[in-house]
Amino acid sequence: MTNKTLLRALAGETLSPPPVWIMRQAGRYLPEYKATRAEAGDFLSLCYTPDLAAEVTLQPIRRYGFDAAILFADILLVPQALGADLWFVTGEGPRLSTITTQADFDALKPASDVHETLSPVYETVRILARELPSETTLIGFAGAPWTVATYMIAGQGTPDQGPAHALKAENRALFEALLDRITEATILYLSAQVEAGAEVVKIFDSWAGSLEGDDFRRYAVEPAARITKALKDKHPGLPVIAFPRGAGEKYEGLHAAIGADCIAIDDGVTADWAAKHVQPGGCVQGNLPNHLLVTGGQELVAETRKVVEALSGGPHIFNLGHGITPDADPENVHLMLNAIRGG
Ligand code: CP3
């Protein structure tokens, strides 16, 4: 049996305490991250410099002993590898060249070209596979096609994904061709991460919550199912975590619909609800509200215990409902871990 608790939970084992890691665990709330990022110069250079990307991936493992490390990269590297311009505006977020016409789409590169841009990421994975402690699981990741498309269409983050919904309504063929291109690129990208040493992959669909009715099935569930099947066909036994954020009641039945080993949930549903409606399908990851790592105190301890307790009857990976924010106090992560592991 493996000593990697994360892999055991993904295989369906109920563990007490549950394995734990947190989204954005390598990030600006850590002084050592800020120092390495300054050394790299800018965020994209950090993503594409394997030694530095591996270093920031390892920092939260050294500080906290999380049960999993997540590769340091970004979901927007795939659009860049497909030929989109990508840059980050400090204090605002990502900017990309937009895809709104057939001509914009025709200028994109074929999916098979993505390795040219993304090969430094595979080198980061190889370094991590060598350097991580033997009990720590290495998670690779990519954005889900819908979420990545929302950024490619709008050229930036949007509160309601309006431009992507508009393109879907006005030119569905073009919208679907873009989703297909991203899906193909994502399969190749994740497969290369696995070949380099990623032991699990996670698909981040941060904006799945704005897809309604049949759109949720067609543009959140089906692309994730297609990616999952292609990866499992090529890498038998590979565990997959799907994170359709904001799915609400639609989290029920998603393990089977996507074919994923684990469904990650945000804090829009309670852990009690998830135990009843999602955990019967398999492992659940989540779902402490991330603002509690800013505010801390007894509320953090009590809410952490509540999540652990609610999901203790089945396979569970403890995590947040969304990424830790730059204003979180690193000491609060210790408080959270003590509440999980120290009883
Ligand atoms: O530690 C980890 O979780 C691994 C690395 C990781 C990053 N981004 C690093 C990052 C992962 C898994 C992501 C995923 C990601 N990136 C998502 C999906 C998850 C989510 O949060 O919903 C999305 C939507 C993106 C796109 C993205 N990247 C945005 C919108 C931003 C700007 C907002 C922000 O937080 O600054 C980024 C930048 C980014 N990606 C940072 C980090 C650590 C901050 C960059 C910096 O150092 O300035």
Count of beta carbons in the 10 Å neighbourhood of residue 195: 13
Active-site annotation holder among 33, 48, 122, 151: 151
Provide DSSP, 249-292.
Answer: GGGTTHHHHHT-SEEE--TTS-HHHHHHHTGGGSEEEEEE-TTH
d(CA 302, CA 172): 47
Distance 335 CA to ligand 1 centre (A): 24
Burial class (CB in 10 A: 0-12, 13-18, 19+), 303: middle
Nearest CA to ligand 1 atom 23: 75
Active-site annotation holder among 33, 64, 74, 205: 74
User: CA dist 322 to 21, 54, 197, Å?
Assistant: 12, 22, 25
Taking domain 6-341, whether its CATH number is 3.40.710.10 is answered by: no
- Residue holding tokens 């109920």? 14
**CB 94 less than 6 A from any atom of ligand 1:** yes
Reduce the DSSP state of residue 341 to 3 states and report it.
helix
Please determine, for residue 343, whether its predicted confidence score (pLDDT) is greater than 60.
no
Active-site annotation holder among 8, 33, 37, 251: 37
Tokens matching residue 286: 């989540």
Please determine, for residue 22, whether its predicted confidence score (pLDDT) is greater than 60.
yes
Q: What tens digit of pLDDT does each residue of 211-254 get?
A: 999 999 999 999 999 999 999 999 999 999 999 999 999 999 99
Q: How confident is the model at residue 1 (pLDDT cuts 50, 70, 90)?
A: confident
Mean pLDDT confidence for 283-291: 98
Q: Is 267 a catalytic residue?
A: no
d(CA 201, CA 6): 12
Distance 14 CA to ligand 1 centre (A): 30
Q: How confident is the model at residue 90 (pLDDT cuts 50, 70, 90)?
A: confident
Taking the C-alpha atoms of 245, 246, 250 and 253 in order, what is their torsion angle to the nearest 10 degrees? Answer: 30
Average pLDDT over the chain, rounded to an integer: 98
Distance 336 CA to ligand 1 centre (A): 22
